Amino acid sequence: QPESVIGGKSFTAVAVNCAAKAGEWIKSKIGSITQLDTKYSMQDLVTEVDKGAERMIRNLIGTHFPTHSFLGEEGVEPGPEASAKALQDVSNAEYLWIVDPVDGTTNYVHGFPFYSVSIALAHRGQVIVGVVYDPSRDELFVAERGKGAYVHGRKMQVSQEATLNQSLIATGFPADPHVALPANMKGIQALAPKVRNLRIAGSAALHLAYVAAGRLSGFWEMNLSAWDIAAGSLLVEEAGGRMSDTVGEPYQLAVRNVVATNGRIHGELLGELQVAANT
Ligand code: 2AM
Ligand code: CA
Ligand code: CA
Ligand code: CA
């Protein structure tokens, strides 16, 4: 079992501190961004706030845990191949911090208040701490493996819906217009008439936190990276939900096509996505 405390500093306390500090700074910069650049495609945005927040988090973690490894979105070349390789490169790490400084940059740039800071700690490839912070609502979602998931100290529990037709489901528009977008449009087309309604709010990490909080019955998205999912995956699991990929394999850090639910609707959602993929 990994120790949860090294040198008197709990992993979770450091993760929470990083998310709160970075989140506060990010929120203070909204509306005054000076550098807006594109990365892999014209839909793939980055600002000086993404980079600055990642640097802030990385420095803080490095001060407390200098021997730990670090994987952050803005430290990796853009594109799915580079992000898969970057994860591969740290696959032997004992302790690995996985950070998305701003999940939902497009929302952030437009002032649409649905973006988050996502910080996970994995021990030998298994997420043991997950923190997602929503600065717009000052909501802090925290999970430790085996100890439950909490939003501002209140224990979270996934929702109870047993069928898709009672379910509020979220997904995402993949930025890759050639493969992932058409693939996911099939899923959207198949699910839209079967669920109570769909939401596409633009932050995978926050969608996962909402599944954990019981505000969404489920979520799926394709073509994500480890930093989008890792923290939220533990929130979902510790709130009693289920995580897998889109063909039902168990969640692990390399999963890019993710399904997260309250557990009860998992099979039905997977089934519909399978049917959609094969049409
Ligand atoms: P980001 O804001 O950190 O980039 C919304 O559908 C999700 O997709 C967000 O979690 C967002 O994370 C991610 N996303 C945005 N642009 C992307 C891209 N070009 N490739 C992969 N994921 C992307
Ligand atoms: Ca990005
Ligand atoms: Ca992201
Ligand atoms: Ca990001």
Q: Please indicate whether residue 204, judged by its CB atom, sits closer than 6 Å to ligand 1.
A: yes
Cα 254 off chain centre by = 13
pLDDT values of the chain reduced to their tens digit, one per residue, 279 residues: 456 665 567 999 999 999 999 999 999 999 899 999 998 888 889 999 999 999 999 999 999 999 999 999 999 999 889 999 999 999 999 999 999 999 999 999 999 999 999 999 999 999 999 999 999 999 999 999 999 999 988 999 999 999 999 999 999 988 777 888 888 999 999 999 999 999 999 999 999 999 999 999 999 999 999 999 999 999 999 999 999 999 999 999 999 999 999 999 999 999 999 999 998
CA of 230 to the centre of ligand 4 (A): 13
Kindly list the distances between the CA atom of residue 210 and the CA atoms of 76, 102, 130, 167, in Å, as whole numbers in the listed order. Answer: 27, 17, 14, 13
What token pair was written down for 231? Answer: 């923290």
* Cβ-based neighbours of 120, under 8 Å, separated by 6 or more: 15, 97, 98, 99, 127, 129, 130, 131, 227, 230, 231, 233, 234
| DSSP H stretches of helix in 152-265 | 180-191, 204-212, 226-238
Q: Please indicate whether residue 202, judged by its CB atom, sits closer than 6 Å to ligand 1.
A: yes
Q: 5-155, which class in CATH?
A: alpha beta
Pocket test for ligand 1, best of 26, 39, 44 (most atoms within 8 A of CB): 44
Residues at the binding site for Mg(2+) are: 73, 100, 103, 228
Chosen CATH of 164-277 out of 3.40.50.300, 3.40.190.80, 1.20.140.10, 3.40.50.150: 3.40.190.80
Q: Please indicate whether residue 171, judged by its CB atom, sits closer than 6 Å to ligand 1.
A: no
* Cβ-based neighbours of 210, under 8 Å, separated by 6 or more: 170, 216, 219
- Give the residue whose CA is nearest to atom 19 of ligand 1: 44
> CATH 3.40.190.80 region(s) of the chain?
164-277
Residues at the binding site are: 73, 100, 103, 228
Task: Report the C-alpha gap between 274 and 233 in whole angstroms.
Answer: 21
CB 112 within 8 A of CB 102: no
> CATH 3.30.540.10 region(s) of the chain?
5-155
Check residue 46 and report its DSSP letter.
E
Task: Report the C-alpha gap between 96 and 67 in whole angstroms.
Answer: 10
Question: What's the pTM value of the predicted model, to 2 decimals?
Answer: 0.96
CA-107 nearest atom, ligand 1: 2
| DSSP H stretches of helix in the chain | 11-28, 48-64, 80-89, 105-110, 180-191, 204-212, 226-238, 266-277
Q: Please indicate whether residue 203, judged by its CB atom, sits closer than 6 Å to ligand 1.
A: yes
Pocket test for ligand 1, best of 224, 225, 257 (most atoms within 8 A of CB): 224
Task: Report the C-alpha gap between 212 and 273 in whole angstroms.
Answer: 21
Tell which residue, 99, 122, 12, has the closest CA to residue 50.
Answer: 99
CA of 258 to the centre of ligand 1 (A): 13
Cα 209 off chain centre by = 8
pLDDT given for residue 137 in this prediction? 98
Task: Report the C-alpha gap between 240 and 160 in whole angstroms.
Answer: 10
